[in-house]
Copies of this chain bind each other. A is one copy, B any other.
Amino acid sequence: MASTSFLCPKHTTLFLPTHQLSNNSVSNLTDLFVRFPNSGSVSFRSDYVSSLSHVRPKRKQLRVCANSAAQVMDQSPSKMGSMVRTIVKVDLGDRSYPIYIGSGLLDQHELLQKHVHGKRVLVVTNTTIAPLYLDKVVTALSDGNPNVTVDSVILPDGEQFKNMDTLMKVFDKAIESRLDRRCTFVALGGGVIGDMCGFAAASFLRGVNFIQIPTTVMAQVDSSVGGKTGINHRLGKNLIGAFYQPQCVLIDTNTLNTLPERELASGLAEVIKYGLIRDADFFKWQEKNMSALLARDPSALAYAIKRSCENKAEVVSLDEKESGVRATLNLGHTFGHAIETSYGYGQWLHGEAIAAGMVMAVDMSYRLGWIDDSIVNRVHKILQEAKLPTAPPEMMTVEMFKSVMAVDKKVADGLLRLILLKGPLGNCVFTGDYDRKALDETLQAFCKS
């Protein structure tokens, strides 16, 4: 059981994927915790850190507006590196927070430390990310800060674990560690970790401080903005959760160096979405720069992340609780959630399901006569270039789609509202006012039965 291949810092609880455990057997749970002594396995390069301590990076406050792509692409990777830190501000009144974007930010310890409240921190991460970045984050939190104690809990990796059983392990750890209201929860990982850690932070002692360190493109461009947290129910995605804003989001683009190709592409699905629903210039930039993004050009990635966060921050500022315009961020998600729910969480990545879902929403928009075929073609082309699916899995049936779509959060008083493209590129609507026939035709076109 203790034959894990990585070293854990002090106060770490490794949660083995024993999801067979019921909540009623929590009294036996401590037997399954594997505790490691402090390994001293600090993995960052000390020369890099010491050089940074002499360089106070100039903070650059960006307004949320459409910058030209050239502005960023002209910058060399070194300029986009540790010297430049971009800040996107999410403007939500007294719940406003900054998103820091840059490479090497995890080595700038003061950045994280200034957002920690209280003396106790719980890092929530998973078995994939812990061996890569947990030590680094623990050091960033505690270096030169002897009053702070950092605990951590390592969850199994995957959407299939985004459930109440796994969430309870976070509460168990927080309570066993005797954390109090003045503690801070830190989410270190992808969207699943961010959603679960955020909901745990929202609910532990009725709400504690929360910091996000997203390590996937998907989490950086999507869940890092807007405070949606939650878990899945066996009948649907994200049905249980809270709107809960973090103190800050820290995006160290260096963490993308270890991201698998399929995960990278999955995140790009959401990037493409922003272009489609509200930012034609950004979409055109993506058409030109897709190969740079796939090759992980740091400048291209930083720009795509920044522009995505800015787009989302603008929408969320207008509609925090998703009563209107915020719903447009869910282009392709109603179809996509049906795929994820029916196919089983974790079979397809979220962005893969959303890519297929976007193709279906675009198909339906075209059937309604709301967009012309050039948009349909461009969507197919860019998704194919990003190595993303353009159709749902073969096992999906019309009935499966309809069954899951009936419990979608966007159903209001029994009417399913959808996000559909309408007009020139970069325009969409959120509406329940569409011809039901077009929906049926789209479902039939993409399903064998």
**A contacts, CB < 8 Å to B:** 19-20, 22-27, 118-120, 163-165, 168, 171-172, 175-176, 178, 180-182, 199, 202-207, 228-230, 233-236, 238-243, 321, 406-407, 409, 411-414
Contact (A23, B22) CB under 8 Å given A180-B411, A181-B412, A235-B175? yes
Contacts of A407 in B (CB 8 A): 175, 178
Structural contact, A175 and B233, CB atoms closer than 8 A: yes
Number of this chain's copies in the complex = 2
Residue in chain B with minimal CB distance to A183: B413
Q: List 9 interface pairs A-B (beta carbons < 8 Å), by A numbering.
A: A164-B164, A171-B233, A178-B406, A203-B242, A204-B239, A205-B409, A206-B321, A206-B409, A207-B243
Structural contact, A165 and B240, CB atoms closer than 8 A: no
Residue in chain B with minimal CB distance to A26: B234
Contacts of A118 in B (CB 8 A): 412-413
Contacts of A180 in B (CB 8 A): 409, 411-414
Contact (A412, B182) CB under 8 Å given A175-B407, A204-B239? yes
* Pick from B163, B235, B413: contact of A119, CB under 8 Å: B413
Structural contact, B20 and A413, CB atoms closer than 8 A: no
Structural contact, B119 and A175, CB atoms closer than 8 A: no
Contacts of A230 in B (CB 8 A): 203, 206
Residue in chain B with minimal CB distance to A199: B203
Max chain B Cβ within 10 angstroms of own Cβ: one of A181, A202, A205, A243:
A205
Structural contact, B119 and A414, CB atoms closer than 8 A: yes
What separation, in Å, do the CA atoms of A120 and B411 have in the docked complex? 12
Structural contact, B24 and A165, CB atoms closer than 8 A: yes
A322 shortest CB reach to chain B, Å: 8
